[in-house]
Amino acid sequence: MRKVPARGYEGGMTLTRLIARPMLASMFVAGGINSLRNTKQAAEQAKPITDKLVPMAQQAAPSVPIPTDPATLVRINAGVHILAGFALATGRTPRLSSLALAGTLVPTTVAGHRFWEESDPALKANQQIHFFKNVSMLGGLILASVDTEGKPGLAWRAKRAAKDAGRQGRHLRKAAKREAKLAAKGVTG
């Protein structure tokens, strides 16, 4: 009889992750496709933000070739949304893909939903809703980026390895002392 792990983890996704990841990823895949279809419009919307972010990125990483054209940046962002969205949806590198999506969501949100610049109350309310929807999605991505699927995380494993190494060191020290005492008795006795 085959034994099933208690947590429901058997090398795959739990039912919750199987459903939640594609749900979270769907907006990014759809948004990425929309950005590719409407690159010109998205680039116009992104230009005020890319004009500020590109010089900062160039200064932070002067040896990295960073595109300056807003349309190219929109296409790159769309590509990340589509690829990382599919990776998250299918459970392939979910932590890394969540982190990539979270990193792109901040400038996307600031570029696309600047509600503080709207004077029309209806448009302002609409942009504010989309802004906070994205903030909510950012929270979900942050949670997904630290989800270890019930397995111990790196911090726990490092702490455990340090404890094990310390325990092993104490054991070896005791064994060495014991061997030294036996050797000393054998030489003198």
Residues 100 and 78: beta-carbon distance below 8 Å: no
Mean pLDDT of the chain: 86
46: nearest Cα among 106, 95, 125, 136 = 106
Q: How many CB atoms lie within 10 A of CB 16?
A: 9
Residues 66-93 have a mean pLDDT of 94
* Lowest mean pLDDT across 6-10, 15-19, 143-147, 177-181: 6-10
CB 142 within 8 A of CB 102: yes
The pair of structure tokens assigned to 52 is: 């500020």
| Spatial distance between the Cα atoms of 176 and 159, rounded to a whole number of angstroms | 26
Summarised one tens digit per residue, pLDDT across range 98-153 is 999 999 998 889 888 889 989 999 999 999 999 999 999 999 999 888 877 767 66
The overall pTM is greater than 0.75: no
